[in-house]
Amino acid sequence: MNEAFIIEKLKRREPSVFGMDRLSQFAVLLPLVQKGDGLHVLFEVRSRQLRKQPGEICFPGGRIETTDKNPMEAAIRETTEELCMDASVIRNVFPLDYVVSSYGRRAIFPFAGFLPDMPFHPNPGEVEEVFTVPLSHFAKTAPECYRIEFKVEPDQDFPFHLIQGGKSYKWNSQQMDEYFYYYGDYVIWGLTAGILKNFMDILGADKA
């Protein structure tokens, strides 16, 4: 192993997020629908029969499968499966900022795309209902923000004797902002609210 070997190895590789191969990877679509009064954002209410997060509000999306060519294809596929629609009607799909969750060991790839204004007949096994909210509502309404703090708790067999400070070592705590949007009786929070907040920041709605 020499300098030329190392240079060739580094020159040919594309950088990624450290540990990405160990993360569960998901893709979601933030759907935009043009209605008579302007653009709306479409949301799903998860079926209450689901094991994970029943009844919560989300965007269409799910795990990236090995058969998906890329995260965008996964987001489109999940949207067609959940909303029972053809992929050909989904247009102008663009990537948003991806999310890496160290505590949940997940990587989420969000996209924004446009759907036609049409009757939606979602898959009842996954989606209880769909609803839309005018995009202007989010442009005029800032989300509430609450802070969550994660504390480090090493395993009992952690080798404290090998690190400076031992059991008194000052671990860095992790903090995360949780956003909450409200529309009528709907509460939009968690990852969905975070993706929506990022989207509105990209649009510069908070500076309008």
What CATH number did the domain enclosing 63 receive? 3.90.79.10
Contact 43, 58 (CB under 8 A): yes
- Tens of pLDDT, residue by residue over 71-87, are 999 999 999 999 999 99
CB atoms inside a 10 Å sphere around CB 29: 28
Alpha helix (H) residue ranges in 22-128: 71-83
- Tens of pLDDT, residue by residue over 163-206, are 999 988 988 878 889 999 999 999 999 999 999 999 999 998 44
Q: Is residue 117 part of a domain?
A: yes
Q: Is residue 12 part of a domain?
A: no
Domain count, the chain: 1
Looking at the whole model, is its pTM more than 0.95? no
- Tens of pLDDT, residue by residue over 96-145, are 999 887 666 889 999 999 999 999 999 999 999 999 999 999 999 999 99
Q: Is residue 8 part of a domain?
A: no
Q: CA-based Rg of the chain, rounded to a whole angstrom?
A: 21
User: So what's the pLDDT on residue 104?
Assistant: 64
Q: Is residue 14 part of a domain?
A: no
Q: Is residue 41 part of a domain?
A: yes
Q: What is the average per-residue pLDDT within 135-156?
A: 91
What is the spatial distance between Cα 179 and Cα 197, in angstroms, rounded to a whole number? 8
Q: Is residue 156 part of a domain?
A: yes
- Tens of pLDDT, residue by residue over 17-45, are 888 888 899 999 999 999 989 999 999 99
| Secondary structure E strands in 53-199 | 57-58, 61-63, 91-95, 99-101, 106-115, 127-134, 144-150, 174-183, 186-189
Query: Domain range holding 48?
Result: 20-203
